[in-house]
């Protein structure tokens, strides 16, 4: 056990996630910091096997400092539960940690500047499966413009493309069932490995 762990009883992962949270809370790398009430670093177990990646915090997230706590969050929790998962089992964060005004999608420059925090979180948690919720987070892992729905491997992770839960609020059909299936797949991949992924 490392000396710090011995003296504080906290794991190195928890310490690093907490340090990262402080860094994110005071980040001024892009203009989004000017409109935020709270940065939303993300939350979940330090050793979560499944890592959910959304787009950007909305109004409720900005108010509370927690990811997916508004209407989209309630849909996400329903789908997690239908997939046999609990919110507390997964790590949840976003491509950018501060709310874009009027819930516009984050710009590619904002996503690029915030990427170092996501990479650091992945490097600490080391999940086996990343579930991308919507097009913006999926765009981080693919070069082509064609956004498929098949899971794929990326830099040692299995990536499962999924609908963003807010799509259900915009009248797109079958979002809940499709998201639930994606989360079931993520669960199965995290438990059984990647043999279900065809190259």
Quote the least distance from Cβ 66 to ligand URA, whole Å.
Answer: 8
Q: Which residues pair with 130 in a beta bridge?
A: 51, 159
Quote the least distance from Cβ 72 to ligand URA, whole Å.
Answer: 4
Q: In this chain, which of 43, 55, 110, 181 binds ligand URA, going by CB under 6 A?
A: 55
The closest residue (CB) to ligand URA is: 54
Nearer to ligand URA, 55 or 110 (CB): 55
The answer to whether 161 and 179 have CB atoms below 8 angstroms apart is no
Q: Which residues contact 136 (CB under 8 A, 6 or more apart)?
A: 55, 56, 95, 105, 106, 111
Quote the least distance from Cβ 130 to ligand URA, whole Å.
Answer: 14
What's the rounded Cα separation, in Å, for the pair 40 and 100? 12
Give the per-residue contact string, 165-194, with ligand URA (x = CB under 6 A; - = no): -x----------------------------
Q: In this chain, which of 17, 56, 129, 162 binds ligand URA, going by CB under 6 A?
A: 56
Q: How, if at all, do strands 157-162 and 152-154 pair?
A: antiparallel
What's the rounded Cα separation, in Å, for the pair 183 and 77? 11
Helix (H, G, I), strand (E, B) or coil at 94: strand
132 makes contact with ligand URA (CB under 6 A): no
| Stretch of 4-12, 56-64, 171-179, 187-195 contacting ligand URA, by CB under 6 A | 56-64
Task: Tell me how many degrees the CA angle 30-90-172 measures, rounded to the nearest 5.
Answer: 75
Tokens of residue 198, six digits = 């065809």
Nearer to ligand URA, 11 or 72 (CB): 72
Nearer to ligand URA, 94 or 121 (CB): 94
What's the rounded Cα separation, in Å, for the pair 41 and 141? 20
What's the rounded Cα separation, in Å, for the pair 121 and 127? 10
Q: In this chain, which of 44, 57, 65, 106 binds ligand URA, going by CB under 6 A?
A: 57
Nearer to ligand URA, 45 or 188 (CB): 45
The answer to whether 128 and 158 have CB atoms below 8 angstroms apart is yes
Which of 18, 15, 25 has its CA nearest to residue 57?
A: 25
Kindly identify the residues of this chain, within the stretch 59-118, that bind ligand URA according to CB under 6 A.
Answer: 61, 67-68, 70, 72, 94
- Residue numbers of the site for ligand URA (CB under 6 A)? 54-58, 61, 67-68, 70, 72, 94, 166
């Amino acid at each position: 056990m490392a000396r710090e762990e011995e003296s504080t009883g906290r794991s190195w992962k928890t310490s690093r996630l907490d340090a990262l949270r402080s860094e994110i809370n005071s980040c001024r790398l892009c203009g989004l910091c000017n409109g935020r009430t709270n940065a939303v670093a993300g939350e979940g177990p330090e050793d979560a096997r499944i890592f959910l990646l959304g787009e950007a915090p909305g109004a409720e997230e900005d108010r509370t400092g927690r990811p997916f706590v508004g209407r989209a969050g309630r849909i996400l929790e329903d789908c997690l539960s239908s997939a046999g998962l609990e919110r507390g089992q997964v790590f949840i964060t976003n491509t950018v940690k501060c709310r874009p005004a009027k819930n516009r999608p984050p710009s590619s420059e904002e996503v690029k500047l915030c990427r170092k925090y996501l990479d650091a979180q992945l490097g600490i948690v080391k999940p086996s499966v990343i579930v991308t919720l919507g097009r913006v987070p999926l765009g981080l892992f693919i070069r082509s413009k064609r956004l498929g729905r098949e899971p794929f491997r990326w830099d040692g992770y299995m990536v499962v493309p999924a609908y963003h839960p807010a799509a259900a609020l915009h009248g797109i059909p079958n979002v809940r069932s499709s998201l639930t299936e994606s989360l079931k797949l993520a669960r199965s991949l995290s438990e059984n490995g990647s043999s279900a992924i065809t190259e």
